[in-house]
Structure 1
Amino acid sequence: MAFTIAVIVNAGVIFAGITEPPVGVYLLALVPLFALSASGICLFVLPYFGRRTVAW
């Protein structure tokens, strides 16, 4: 949800006619994207580092 809002705000500022938006507007969408990436990587790696069972 936060990423979607950040992208909408970013697009709104760019298409509003501002000649050069601040750099923070472009970086606004990256903050929730890094959080989503970190949680996605954790959920992907978690099964591989779970409890190991020995199959004989």
Structure 2
Amino acid sequence: MIKQHQIYTLPSGAIVKVNSLVSGTSDDWNCEFKHKEKAGYMVCFAGKFIRKYGKAMA
């Protein structure tokens, strides 16, 4: 289960924070990069991608 405001590490090593569910979708999430030169950039990931490849950070 994806949790809002949770931080995930992706296979590329990038770190993203899940912000909110995209309006009008059932499983797309607005995320924000928290990693080095991409910090602050917004991106949208499908929930299926996050559940399959993301590792939640404690």
Q: TM-score, normalised on structure 2?
A: 0.23
- Higher CA-based Rg: 1
Structure that is richer in strand per residue = 2
Q: TM-score, normalised on structure 1?
A: 0.24
